[in-house]
Amino acid sequence: MLNPVTPAFEARLRDVLPDHAIRQAAPRYLEEPRGRYAGQVGLMVSPTDVGQVSALVAACNDARVGVLPYGGGTGLVGGQISEASPAPVLLSMERMAAIRAVFPEENVLIAESGAILADVQAAADRAGRLFPLSLASEGSARIGGNLATNAGGTGVLRYGNARDLCLGLEAVLPDGRIWNGLTRLRKDNTGYDLRNLLIGSEGTLGIITAATLKLSAIPAVTGTGLFVVASPKAALSLLSMARDALGEGISAFELIHRQGFDFLAETLPQVRRPFDQPPEWSVLIDVGLPRGLDAQGALAGLFEMAMQEGLVDDGLIAQSQAQSDEFWAVREHIPEANRLIGSVSSHDISVPLGALAEFITRGEEAIAAIGEFRINCFGHVGDGNLHFNVFPMPGRNRQDHAEDRPRIKAAVHDLVHELGGSISAEHGIGRLKVADLERYGDPVKLAAMRAIKDALDPNGIMNPGAVLRAS
């Protein structure tokens, strides 16, 4: 049983932390992007070093006060918002945002967990390297939250998830002890991998305070194409063709449905749309190739082969970086357009590539059987991750369909489960999907997760109620 923040507890914190680290939480820390949760906190703490994090967590553990880690606040599953009582201490990492070191010759960068993703990218770029994690929220998302949720993004096809971009961690465990795991080694076979245990744990097993990140070479030549495809099945055939032709040169392969273009026209008309008439389905392809190769020529050759096979019937190849940026602006603004429309039910799912086209067809049929809705299906089709979001028809809003949301979510997740997919591809579980994890998760895995949680955090103070139901 957790305890509330009391005057005596606050006084104890002030004994071990500087006054500037303790403050009241502004309203923005109690909100989340979709407006589905309104949080509460007993106190907010903004430490400046790992020693202060350790002192805070140790005090909370001794007093059995919950700790809610907060990064950039961009999470979409409620992991950074607590509505439950007693109100926890909110631990903001925003004052621990330093780039501690860059080792270009090793392709390594060490950053504190409060570093904004875009700042990490910029630091890598100044060193002549690439940090390839790329998200629509990269201007405000923080690297600790990216790792805690094992964020995906547009570069997973080539570079992997956040988990694949991390060599080591510094973290504070639930009893306040500091794990100094900031290794720069790529081979370290010395027992259990605590790094991969903490990555994706969403702050329920400890607080990530710094990370050793993998960098990559910046591709010498890049190109971007926007191809009109006949169907999702044709998009998958095009992906296979592109892999055969370009190998690991494909950096991104994004599927876009016409509804995404329509939502942009409705809510963000300033975003330039490449086609006068939006196609039913299109794919956005990014390639990065070694010096001496022609990225635009490679895309043109791919288009010609796909045209001969009947996979594409129109397309555009960016002739400049500015035009490439325009193509990507369409994809990157789709989530914001979705937010402005207001979804009835949003789904971050993945299925095996071979089942993706079947999922889209059957998913549309399942939603139509419930009622009349608009579906915006888009995402990182190269790695099987789709955002299959359901919206009200024009003239209605999501509140009009409050009673439909559970049926819609169940229909989509049941189908995902049937096809061997995941109900959470890149956004995590948070608080939003705790019941879904219980319903669809493997019982042996869930039991092992509970055993790990109880062993590392016996008092249950770490992000209580996220991922696993508070016991």
Number of folded domains in the chain?
A: 4
pLDDT, average across residues 40-47: 95
Per-residue pLDDT, 38: 84
Question: 197 and 104: one domain?
Answer: yes
* Burial of 444 (C-beta count, 10 Å sphere; 0-12/13-18/19+): exposed
What phi, psi does 444 have (nearest 5°)? -70, -40
Three-class HEC string of 268-314: CCCCCCCCCCCCCEEEEEEEEECCCCCHHHHHHHHHHHHHHCCCEEE
Per-residue pLDDT, 36: 79
Q: State yes or no: pLDDT of 34 exceeds 90.
A: no
The continuous run of DSSP H or E covering 122 comes out as helix 117-126
Asked which of 307, 340, 373 is the last residue of a domain, the reply is 340
Per-residue pLDDT, 468: 97
Domain-located, residue 59 = yes
The continuous run of DSSP H or E covering 170 comes out as strand 166-172
Which CATH number fits the domain that encloses residue 417?
3.30.70.2740
Q: State yes or no: pLDDT of 443 exceeds 90.
A: yes
Which CATH number fits the domain that encloses residue 36?
3.30.43.10
> Residue 322, Cβ neighbours under 10 Å: how many?
8
pLDDT, average across residues 154-178: 97
Q: State yes or no: pLDDT of 471 exceeds 80.
A: no
**Which residues in 97-133 are b (16+ Cβ under 10 Å) and which e?**
bebeebeeeebbbbbbbbbbbbbbbebbeebebbbbb
Domain-located, residue 327 = yes
Question: 68 and 143: one domain?
Answer: no
Q: pLDDT tens, 351-367?
A: 999 999 999 999 999 99
Answer whether 169's CB lies under 8 Å from 111's CB.
Answer: no
Domain-located, residue 458 = no
Model confidence band, residue 14 (pLDDT cutoffs 50, 70, 90): very high
Question: 126 and 149: one domain?
Answer: yes
Question: 288 and 258: one domain?
Answer: yes
Question: 238 and 320: one domain?
Answer: yes
Question: 35 and 57: one domain?
Answer: yes
- Using a cut of 0.85, tell me whether the model's pTM lies above it: yes
Question: 352 and 420: one domain?
Answer: yes
Per-residue pLDDT, 84: 86
Q: pLDDT tens, 335-346?
A: 999 999 999 999
Grouping H, G, I as helix, E, B as strand and the rest as coil, residue 388 is: strand
Grouping H, G, I as helix, E, B as strand and the rest as coil, residue 89 is: strand
Domain-located, residue 432 = no
Residue 56 lies in domain? 7-94
pLDDT, average across residues 229-235: 97
Question: 109 and 73: one domain?
Answer: no
Which CATH number fits the domain that encloses residue 165?
3.30.465.10
Identify the CA nearest to 272 among candidates 280, 264, 283. Answer: 264
Per-residue pLDDT, 440: 97
Q: State yes or no: pLDDT of 439 exceeds 90.
A: yes
Mean pLDDT for all residues in the chain: 96
Grouping H, G, I as helix, E, B as strand and the rest as coil, residue 264 is: helix
Question: 329 and 234: one domain?
Answer: yes
Answer whether 71's CB lies under 8 Å from 115's CB.
Answer: no
Asked which of 217, 249, 279 is the last residue of a domain, the reply is 217
Per-residue pLDDT, 37: 82
Bond preceding residue 464 cis, omega within 30 of 0: no
Distances (CA, A) of 239 to 311, 419, 449: 10, 20, 36
pLDDT, average across residues 105-115: 98
Per-residue pLDDT, 307: 97
Domain-located, residue 456 = no
Domain-located, residue 444 = no
Domain-located, residue 437 = no
Report which of residues 24 and 271 the model is more confident about: 271
Domain-located, residue 443 = no
Grouping H, G, I as helix, E, B as strand and the rest as coil, residue 318 is: coil
pLDDT, average across residues 245-251: 93
Answer whether 223's CB lies under 8 Å from 315's CB.
Answer: no
Asked which of 36, 63, 94 is the last residue of a domain, the reply is 94
> Residue 330, Cβ neighbours under 10 Å: how many?
24
Question: 114 and 208: one domain?
Answer: yes
Question: 233 and 329: one domain?
Answer: yes
Model confidence band, residue 32 (pLDDT cutoffs 50, 70, 90): confident
Question: 383 and 395: one domain?
Answer: yes
Query: Which stretch of 16-20, 161-165, 262-266, 457-461 has the lowest confidence by average pLDDT?
Result: 16-20
